[in-house]
Structure 1
Amino acid sequence: MGNLRTLSLALSVAVVGVALTSCDNGSQAAAKAAADQVSKAISALDVSQAPLSGTDPSAAQTRLKAIVEGLGDVKPTVSAGQANTSNGTTTVPFDFRWQLSGRDWHYTTTARLAQNGDKWTVEWSPELLAPGLQPGEVLVAQTKAPARADILGAGDAKLITERPVLRVGIDKTKVVAKDQDASARALATLVGLDPADYAKQVASAGSQAFVEAIVLRDVPGRTPTDEQVTAISGAVLLPDTLPLAPTRTFARAVLGTVGQATAEQIQKSKGELEAGDETGTGGLEEQYDDELRGQAGVTVYAVASPDAGGPSGSPSASSTASANPTPSAKPSASPSAAPKRQLFTAAPAAGNPLRTTLDPRLQQIADDALAKIGPASAIVAIRPSDGSVLAAASGPGSNGYNTAMLGQYAPGSIFKTIDSLALFRTGAMPDLPVECTPSLTVDGKTFQNATGYPTAHLGTIPLRDAYAHSCNTAFISQRDKVTQEQLQSTATSLGIGLNPGLLGAPGFLGSVPADATSTEHAASMIGQGKILFSPLAAAVMAASVEKGGVVSPRLVLSVGEKDQPSATGSPAATASASASGSPSASASASASQPALAVAKPVTAAEAGTLRDLMRGVVTSGHAGFLLSVPGAPVGAKTGTAEFGSDNPPKTHAWIIGVQGDLAVAVFVDEGGLGATISGPILTDFLTKAAQ
């Protein structure tokens, strides 16, 4: 009987417990709903309509803005956990995540809730926003820029690294106000700036400001000199360092540059970049910016302030720049002399160096060889044995565009290398008799040989002579022996039209359509029509001949200890513009074609025959000027490609050359004949490379 009473009592307690729990669960659900509203409001940094108690929501909003202003233009992600009631107090954990310069600040605070009837509110407190935050304190983030990593070349030579510079400008504390305008105009004139514009900048800057005019490399013989600058009242030179290449033009289109982030770059960075940060622009510096830049260091402080609106002189949202700014950068975050507590810190993480195959000496030779070429131009040098891109120079006429790796141009007669291989695969031999006539008409279109073609080599001549002297009509006469599809397939045998998977950078390896009309097919036999090459593609073709196998070019070897990245340079994605930035219709069409697979790689025997043809261009053709190049024998093929509607038409000038374990392509847009325009450039490059 006692046991029955005990069991009955236990069941009664259990029932009551269930009822209490049910009631509590309903209450906690309402509390959780209120907490969710507040957490979402804090995530939006707008609590003006949130269910708060202990203060008016509008006052809480004012205080919230003041507290987080020093973290910059970022918002937290806040989520509310489960409500818990203990000793009559209901609390909910708030999980906070901030992304500050790419660093994750994660913490949990505790929200206390109050109930009035069936309405729940979250009690407002600074500790709701950050652990231990006290009334009158605000949050401030201070960032420190990491050391940007170098871009390295062959043998880990430093291509882009920190080099000494001088920041030249007017220090307004060193010149009386009435003379500042005259000083600004004098300095602007000295360094080549618009005097009126720079004078306005100086006038609008603060009374203690240094107003930067220009940054100079601190090298011997520079202009303007120290004496010229300091002769101007208030003009100063401040020493600094910047990530720079050896010279201003050194592989610029390939490597890119480093400078202060623009407003557009900051916006696109999703909080990783701030005003005053350095970032890459163009080339490898931009493509691998995340790896090279590393991660900024961030420290968050709770700073005491004399009033709820923030202390006078306390950092604002704009005070999150580098802790070591350049004179032209805005001041860094400084928690001032007010009491402060460190809430979070993440040390800066240096970037990872980018290793490339560029040979500093050959690259400089290539840059120098193009320095005085007016039109767009390029030199690409490849080591056939392993595909390393040793030089990729785009001349000043390219206006910063990467003509060397991305340009799209008709290759002209250098394409006869592919024609010849296609003919050999049908059974032809180098001594095949072909007819070289002054002109040849195909379906109403008349084709001629290049201006100045030697009459002594007209008539019935062997294919090797047609190649050596570049007889257009002889190759067009063979058009019925190879289809357009065979030309495309043969091109892949020498690396043309493939995906540059090992390059590690955007690159266009050429395009040969598989279909063509009768006249287009005839034009294809002389590298015109819709066929397009880049100088990189031309160098790959020459390198594949020299190697006796398909060469896959490579430029980027690794980032720090990481493996080489996957390909980023399919023609559709990266080769959509010509050097002028306005691709022709045919260029746009070819760029959208998918990269091809190699149907039949060139064999060692086939390559040997092609090398003999290329050597014949030098020994008996119109590239005899290359006989003077020291070192191993040189093989070559010139190319002149007509384009446009002018009469006479404009031409692209090409030449490819091989010498030992070196393959080179030279290109000049609107350059005239390949032999007379690009030929001397190749001679100069190979001669200096051999020294």
Structure 2
Amino acid sequence: IPVTDEATTQQALQIRERPEEFPGITAEPAAVRRYPGPGGSNTGQVLGYLSPVTDDEIIKAKDTNSPFLRSDQVGRFGLERTYDKELRGKSGVTRYEVDNLGRVMGEARNDPAIPGAHLVTSLDARVQGVAEYELNAAMVEARKQIDRNTGVPYKADAGAIVVLESKTGRVVAMASAPTFDPNVWVGGISGKDYAKLTAKDSNVPLMNRAIQGQAAPGSIFKVIPTAAAVNAGYKFDGEYPCPSSYSIGGQVFKNFESQGHGSITLGRALEVSCDTVFYALGHQQWLKDGGLKPKKHPAEIFYKTAHQFGLGAPTHVDLPGEEKGRVPDRRWKQAFWEANKDMWCKTGKKGGTYVELLSYENCLEGNLMRAGDAVNYSIGQGDT
């Protein structure tokens, strides 16, 4: 049982030099985690942290090949948790023979310790430092901009950035903001620091938004419907109208800043981020699939292409707690409706408030893929 981890060198030497004066007590060096942050990097959410082993964990591991000692620290988050077993190794155990008074008579058995493995990651500390700096700078810059919908500056209080090696998919840098210093966990976190990290206004720094945050991707998503359009037979270098708005029934979907660009190619549509080109493509494919009365086996090319890119499925990155994204195809729409139908039917009311009316409509037709769903999906919005 560890008495203290803050003994001075003088105290430790006294105990080692005069053991007869300190029966049952010894002073031993112990490994302590340090997260040095090379290249100005923090990497808190990726590296994770350790915390003391619990009584339940000691009991559960008692009969295994790697029982815990009370002095052990266990990986709770990030790479520390994923590779806890490999990094831990196995503690050495020495058994002594004692008489009925508890006096040591001799050594019975000595099982040597097995050191843990070294873990080499694909992270580049320099790139990680730059990524964290640029993420913070982008958030600061975004706060200077006005949200046209609300008339107030953007909050820009959270974000994530991932840098991948294109040929292998290996993670070169992964940053999430707000973040935390992993060193605050070393030796056990203080109550004050823990309260800071878990307070309501902390904005959840213990969440790795790179793999757990879920939000509409927006215009970067347009590479998916572009590839889908080519899969559907549209020519990449063909000409497609980019008007300032696109109408479906009585609903008008406007282009960004209501700007038109004439007839342009799909490549140019990506370059200027023309919403109306993708609105039209999404609407046309929705109609080909049968619209509100879908065919028995609709092609759903725009959604299938997203699945082919791996969207809507976990990446299986070797970090705990990953959340998969969502591709809101007809199957998802049906499942979502079935899961929420009872609640919508209970709270819905014809001619009631906006929320009650919305629930009423969802109760009756929440499983239908509407034209608005298709066009919103085409620019990475809606339920995506």
Instruction: State the alpha-carbon separation in 1 of the partners of residues 108 and 31 from structure 2.
Output: 32
Displacement of 1:264? 5.5
Number of aligned residue pairs: 268
Q: Which residue of 2 aligns with 1:378?
A: 160
Matches within 5 A, 1:448-597: 448-450=254-256, 452=257, 455=259, 457-483=260-286, 485-500=300-315, 503-506=317-320, 507-508=322-323, 510-515=325-330, 516-531=369-384
Q: Which residue of 1 aligns with 2:169?
A: 387
The amino acid across from 2:165 in the alignment is R
Residue 438 in structure 1 maps to residue 203 in structure 2: no
Helix, strand or coil at the partner of 1:358: coil
Instruction: State the alpha-carbon separation in 2 of the partners of residues 387 and 353 from structure 1.
Output: 22
Matches within 5 A, 1:171-186: none
> 1:486-522 CA deviation, whole Å, 9 max, x = no partner?
1222124434345535x43454563323313322112
Structure whose CA Rg is larger: 1
Q: Which residue of 1 aligns with 2:184?
A: none
> 1:556-580 CA deviation, whole Å, 9 max, x = no partner?
xxxxxxxxxxxxxxxxxxxxxxxxx
Q: Work out whether residues 258 and 285 of structure 1, in 8 Å CA contact, stay in contact via their aligned partners in 2.
A: yes
Instruction: State the alpha-carbon separation in 2 of the partners of residues 522 and 168 from structure 1.
Output: 62
The percent identity for this pair of structures is 32
Q: Work out whether residues 443 and 519 of structure 1, in 8 Å CA contact, stay in contact via their aligned partners in 2.
A: no
Matches within 5 A, 1:228-627: 242-247=32-37, 250-263=42-55, 265-266=57-58, 269-270=61-62, 272-306=67-101, 338-371=103-136, 373=139, 375-396=157-178, 399-442=205-248, 445-450=251-256, 452=257, 455=259, 457-483=260-286, 485-500=300-315, 503-506=317-320, 507-508=322-323, 510-515=325-330, 516-531=369-384
Q: Work out whether residues 45 and 77 of structure 2, in 8 Å CA contact, stay in contact via their aligned partners in 1.
A: yes
Instruction: State the alpha-carbon separation in 2 of the partners of residues 266 and 253 from structure 1.
Output: 26
- Residues 488 and 340 from structure 1, CA distance in 2 versus in 1: closer, same or farther, beyond 3 angstroms? farther
Instruction: State the alpha-carbon separation in 1 of the partners of residues 110 and 232 from structure 2.
Output: 71
Instruction: State the alpha-carbon separation in 1 of the partners of residues 124 and 118 from structure 2.
Output: 16
The answer to which structure has the higher strand fraction is 1
- Point out where structure 2 has 5 or more consecutive residues left out of the alignment: 12-21, 23-28, 140-155, 179-202, 287-298, 331-368
Helix, strand or coil at the partner of 2:74: strand
Instruction: State the alpha-carbon separation in 2 of the partners of residues 449 and 169 from structure 1.
Output: 67
- Residues 430 and 353 from structure 1, CA distance in 2 versus in 1: closer, same or farther, beyond 3 angstroms? same
The answer to which structure has the higher helix fraction is 2
- Residues 277 and 362 from structure 1, CA distance in 2 versus in 1: closer, same or farther, beyond 3 angstroms? same
- Residues 371 and 258 from structure 1, CA distance in 2 versus in 1: closer, same or farther, beyond 3 angstroms? farther
Helix, strand or coil at the partner of 1:366: helix
> 1:415-455 CA deviation, whole Å, 9 max, x = no partner?
110111111223323443333343334465543333x46x3
Helix, strand or coil at the partner of 1:394: strand
Q: Work out whether residues 476 and 525 of structure 1, in 8 Å CA contact, stay in contact via their aligned partners in 2.
A: yes
- Residues 264 and 395 from structure 1, CA distance in 2 versus in 1: closer, same or farther, beyond 3 angstroms? farther
Displacement of 1:408? 1.9
Instruction: State the alpha-carbon separation in 2 of the partners of residues 395 and 359 from structure 1.
Output: 18
Return structure 1 stretches of 4+ with deviation > 6 angstroms: 167-170
> 1:225-257 CA deviation, whole Å, 9 max, x = no partner?
xxxxxxxxxxxxxx9852233229622212211
The amino acid across from 1:528 in the alignment is Q
Instruction: State the alpha-carbon separation in 2 of the partners of residues 388 and 361 from structure 1.
Output: 16
What is the CA RMSD across the aligned residues, in angstroms? Answer: 3.4
Instruction: State the alpha-carbon separation in 1 of the partners of residues 33 and 222 from structure 2.
Output: 44
- Point out where structure 1 has 5 or more consecutive residues left out of the alignment: 1-141, 144-166, 174-207, 209-238, 312-337, 532-691
- Residues 447 and 269 from structure 1, CA distance in 2 versus in 1: closer, same or farther, beyond 3 angstroms? farther
Displacement of 1:340? 3.0
Q: Which residue of 2 aligns with 1:184?
A: none
Q: Which residue of 2 aligns with 1:635?
A: none
> 1:304-339 CA deviation, whole Å, 9 max, x = no partner?
344xxxx6xxxxxxxxxxxxxxxxxxxxxxxxxx33
Q: Work out whether residues 244 and 258 of structure 1, in 8 Å CA contact, stay in contact via their aligned partners in 2.
A: no
Query: Larger RCO: Structure 1 or Structure 2 (Cα < 8 Å, ≥ 6 residues apart)?
Result: 2
Instruction: State the alpha-carbon separation in 2 of the partners of residues 528 and 287 from structure 1.
Output: 33
